[in-house]
Amino acid sequence: MAKRIQFKAYGGPEVLEYVDFEPPAPGPKDVLVRNKAIGVNFIETYFRSGLYPAPSFPSGLGNEGAGLVEAVGSEVTHVKVGDRVVYGTGPLGAYGDVHLTPAANIAKLPDGISFEQGAAVMLKGLTVQYLFRQTYEIRPEETILFHAAAGGVGSIACQWANALGVKLIGTVSSAEKAAHAKTHGAWEVIDYSKEDVVQRVLELTDGKKVPVVYDGVGKDTWETSLNCLELRGLLVSFGNASGAVTGVNLGVLAQKGSLYVTRPTLGSYANTPEALQAMADEVFEMVASGKVKVDDIQKFALKDAAKAHTELSGRRTVGSIILVP
């Protein structure tokens, strides 16, 4: 028997249960990982609340973890028992002592990267990789806007942009988070609890606005993001931290300057084992080189997953959160 976090109904953190379960045996193309560290990400609150539907009840939770291969299916060839591995693209169920996942979702973890770093950076790092290197490839000296710059994804984005010579303007909700984003490489920071984001962007860009806005907040920042874009600019709406964007009027895009909008997901980029490993290799190279530091990790015991969700939903966290079995 092993332990895991599950939920039987949608709701707040209180629906999360710490229970015994019997790990399934790997199918021909599966890998069973003994977790050493588990990543906690905002997307898990969407599944828990019902914004994203769970496949069935009771449901496991979590998509990201790092550990050792405990068993492999008969057709798995690229990893073996005992290998150090990391995963970040599901399926649900990572919040547990062990996790069964398709071999195609597994990447090898370099020896120089700890399990805690791997679990803290895998999903968030892959997200920044596809945002900055594939959805819209940012260029040196370019000025961009990134919402929630002090969060787990934002902290990595600040460092990655800085390493590429890009001027990242980050939005945050407090002076503490502003300091955190600046420390991690943001060029400028806007505290939206005190400042008008659009006005500050105009001031910081000498009235030009920005060519791209990366928005993981959603409903609360939708209009603001559009208003910060230059002519034919791109809004990359990659998350719903404040709720889903609904009722979109395409005519608004014309009125505000023939704007573009995309709603990307990691699965559309890490859609083959080869693509996943290549993206992961770039993330780990950034960490190994010191360009992206993963040192602001907040740890909770696996049994305290509900507490971790309470802190995350209350926006009282900075950096990355992990669970430790």
CATH of the domain at 9: 3.90.180.10
Flag whether pLDDT at 316 surpasses 90. no
Closest CA to 18 of 283, 245, 305: 305
Residue 8 has pLDDT above 90, yes or no: yes
For residues 87 and 189, membership in a common domain is answered with: no
pLDDT above 90 coverage of the chain, percent? 75
The residues near 96 (Cβ < 8 Å, ≥ 6 apart) are: 2, 3, 4, 5, 21, 35, 38, 60, 62, 302, 325
On whether both 248 and 308 belong to a single domain, the answer is: no
Is the pLDDT score of 227 beyond 90? yes
Taking the C-alpha atoms of residue 92 and residue 319, their distance in angstroms, rounded to an integer, is: 22
Residue 309 lies in a domain: yes
Residue range(s) defining the domain that contains residue 112: 2-122+270-324
| pLDDT at 248 exceeding the cut of 90 | no
Query: 2 vs 28, 96, 151, 266, 284, CA distance in Å?
Result: 22, 8, 31, 29, 30
Based on the fold, state whether residues 285 and 311 are members of the same structural domain.
Answer: yes
The amino acid at 132: F
Residues 148 and 249 occupy one common structural domain: yes
Q: If we measure between CA atoms, which residue out of 30, 107, 106, 33 comes closest to residue 73?
A: 30
Domain stops at, among 224, 241, 263: 263
Do 14 and 94 fall into the same domain?
A: yes
- Residue 14 CB neighbour total at 10 angstroms: 10
Residue 184 lies in a domain: yes
Average pLDDT of the chain to the nearest whole number: 92
Q: Is residue 50 part of a domain?
A: yes
Q: List phi, psi (to 5°) of 237.
A: -95, 100
Q: Is the pLDDT of residue 246 over 90?
A: no
Residue-wise pLDDT for 261-310, tens only, equals 999 999 899 998 899 999 999 999 999 999 999 877 889 999 999 999 99
Residue 135 placed within a domain: no
318 and 224, same structural domain?
no
Q: What pLDDT was estimated at residue 1? A: 84
Q: Could you tell me if 64 and 36 lie in one domain? A: yes
In a domain, 256, yes or no: yes
pLDDT surpasses 70 at 84? yes
- 131-179 tens-digit pLDDT: 999 999 999 999 999 999 988 889 999 999 999 999 999 999 899 899 9
Which CATH number do you get for residue 150? 3.40.50.720
Residue 214 and residue 274 in one domain: no
Domain boundary among 211, 246, 263: 263
Question: 38 in a domain, yes or no?
Answer: yes
- Residue 94: HSE in the Cβ half-sphere, 13 Å Cα cutoff: 29
- What pLDDT score was predicted for residue 239? 82
pLDDT at 260 over 80: yes
